[in-house]
Structure 1
Amino acid sequence: MTAVQTPRSVTPLLAPLLVGGLIMVVLGVYGRAHTPTGFAVGPAGFSGALPMKAWLTSGAFLLAVIQVVSALSLWGKLGVKIPAWVHRWSGRLAFILTVPVAFHCLYALGFQYDVPRVLAHSLLGCFFYGVFAAKMLTLPKRGTPGWTLPVLGGFAFTALVGLWLTSSFWFFTTIGFKV
């Protein structure tokens, strides 16, 4: 006899997705409406704001790769058991590394759209924080479809890869490996 599975509703996703969408819009509007200061915020230990942002984003990118591998392990897709704390802490640290970068980008530079790379970077930054918020808000929800966390996590990872490509990769290939 097979067990009957009740279909999971997408209704519990509405609030997290609305909040995530609101965060995306608020960040974009603030970044565009706010007059950028041009002042580098806290490049402590770095020669400037750009190297700080490039290295912190690279650290977040590396931790995001650990997130994907550990998530695959948690979902039983690797055949190797990685402890759940690795997933939780790599995510926490990755997020923490993005905060000073995002703060600097919004405060000192604002939402920019005059150069295609920078426009893509601005859009991806807003998208990343919105998707991240939606993912965190769906974690405690019961009854959400099984695809919810992998899809939102995949979007967050993809956004972070795009952010790394449009910032750190650009910096390292254009300016060099400065600290």
Structure 2
Amino acid sequence: MNRRTKIAAVAAALLMTAGAAGSAVASGDGASGNREAAALTGSAKLYRPAGDDITMSFDAHLAKDVPPSEATGTFSFSHYKGEFAAAADVKVDCLVTGGKVAVVTGVITRGEGLLAPAVGKRVGISVHDTGKGRDRLGYSWMASNNPLKDEVPKCTSAAPFERTKEGTGDLRVLPWEFEYPTE
């Protein structure tokens, strides 16, 4: 076998090994065996024709074999328009997904502007991952228009009634495949 053929064969073997390792990591079948059961990730802006700048970002995860109330991660949201300013960082305390819909709740850890007094309050957001780049969102404070007024139980939010602004991002929902007990 000539030198070029040997180099090509070794390179191909290395690429195949790296691809197999990458597939194992992506599927969550790592050494720990604790693959991800559900997730909500990504960010997008809400569609508002009046010029409001509203952004939602998610990094929420649920490990296999734990209840939704043991989800981990964070999410954040902000709303700016003229003098109006409100933003919050949230620590996830529950995540449940079904198909391409997710509901995530958490407790506000940092509030800015009108949300500064909201630290310690629980809020919830729902997401419908349409797969078309125009996802939908809902939020627990939609009825009162004020997260400070609503008491929200874990894993509770309004239906995803708002649309995301075209071209501003893509939210991704990893569906939870609930395993029913057999006994």
Please, what TM-score do these two structures have when normalized by structure 1? 0.24
Q: Which has the higher helix share?
A: 1
More strand by share: 2
Max Rg structure: 2
